[in-house]
Amino acid sequence: KIMFTMFSLVCMFILIFPRLLSIGVKELMYYVNLCDNVSFFCISLGPDTKLMQNSGTSTFKRTRIDCMMNILVLCIGGFLVTISAILSVWYFFFETTDDALSSFLIFCSYVIVLNMLVPMSLYVSLEIIRFGNSLFINWDRDMYCPRTNTPARARTTKLSEELGQVKYILSDKTGTLTRNIMTFSKCCIEGKAYGEHLGKCKIFKFTFHDPNLVEIVRKRNPEAQAFFRLLDLCHTVMSEKKEDGELIYQAQSPDESALVTAARSFGFKFHSRTPETITLMEMGNKVIYDLVAVLDFTNRRKRMSVIVCSPEGKITLFCKGADTVVFERLHSFNHLKEATQEYLNKYARDGLRALVLSSKQLEESYVQGWKERLHEASIAMEGREERLEELFEEMEKDMTLLGATAVEDELQEGVPHTIEQLGQAHIKIWMLTGDQKGWCQMTTFVVQGKILQEVRNELQ
- Long-range contact pairs involving 220-225 (C-beta distance under 8 Å, separation at least 24): 220/283, 223/189, 223/190, 223/402, 223/403, 224/189, 225/268, 225/282
Residue 146 and residue 113 share a domain: no
Residue 133 and residue 109 share a domain: no
Residue 321 and residue 240 share a domain: yes
Q: What is the pLDDT of residue 204?
A: 46
**What would the mean pLDDT of 211-236 be, rounded to a whole number?**
89
Q: How far apart are CA 136 and CA 36, in angstroms?
A: 48
Query: Could you tell me if residue 72 is inside a domain?
Result: yes
The total of other beta-carbon atoms located within 10 Å of residue 262's CB is: 22
Sign of CA dihedral 77, 78, 83, 86: positive
* Threshold 0.75, pTM exceeds: no
Query: Could you tell me if residue 443 is inside a domain?
Result: no
Query: Could you tell me if residue 14 is inside a domain?
Result: yes
Residue 71 and residue 113 share a domain: yes
Domain boundary among 406, 435, 455: 406
Confidence of residue 363 (pLDDT cuts 50, 70, 90): very high
Domain boundary among 133, 165, 197: 165
Residue 105 and residue 207 share a domain: no
pLDDT tens string 300-339:
888 999 999 999 999 999 999 988 899 999 987 667 888 8
CA angle 428, 443, 142 (to 5 degrees): 60
Q: What is the pLDDT of residue 23?
A: 63
Residue 1, Cβ density class (10 Å: 0-12 exposed, 13-18 middle, ≥19 buried): exposed
Residue 235 and residue 150 share a domain: no
How many domains, the chain? 4
Assess contact for 210 and 262: CB atoms under 8 A: no
Residue 220 and residue 90 share a domain: no
Residue 241 and residue 146 share a domain: no
Residue 373, Cβ density class (10 Å: 0-12 exposed, 13-18 middle, ≥19 buried): middle
Q: Is the pLDDT of residue 62 over 90?
A: no
Residue 360 and residue 316 share a domain: yes
Q: How far apart are CA 423 and CA 48, in angstroms?
A: 45
Residue 224 and residue 156 share a domain: no
Domain limits at 26? Answer: 2-54
Range with the largest mean pLDDT of 8-12, 45-49, 121-125, 390-394: 390-394
Hey, which residues are catalytic here?
172
Query: Could you tell me if residue 181 is inside a domain?
Result: no
Question: Cα separations (Å) of 193 from 9, 346, 359, 436?
Answer: 59, 11, 19, 20
Query: Could you tell me if residue 332 is inside a domain?
Result: yes
Query: Could you tell me if residue 33 is inside a domain?
Result: yes
Question: Cα separations (Å) of 302 from 258, 325, 326, 436, 444?
Answer: 18, 7, 9, 12, 23
Q: What is the pLDDT of residue 20?
A: 56
**What would the mean pLDDT of 279-297 be, rounded to a whole number?**
91
**What would the mean pLDDT of 82-88 be, rounded to a whole number?**
86
Residue 115 and residue 126 share a domain: no
DSSP per-residue string spanning 52-67? HHH--PPPPP--HHHH
Q: How far apart are CA 327 and CA 337, in angstroms?
A: 8
Residue 343 and residue 297 share a domain: yes
Query: Could you tell me if residue 179 is inside a domain?
Result: no
Domain boundary among 384, 406, 428: 406
> What CATH number does the domain containing 383 carry?
3.40.1110.10
Query: Could you tell me if residue 422 is inside a domain?
Result: no
Higher pLDDT, 181 or 36: 181
Q: Is the pLDDT of residue 115 over 70?
A: yes
Q: How far apart are CA 30 and CA 195, in angstroms?
A: 39
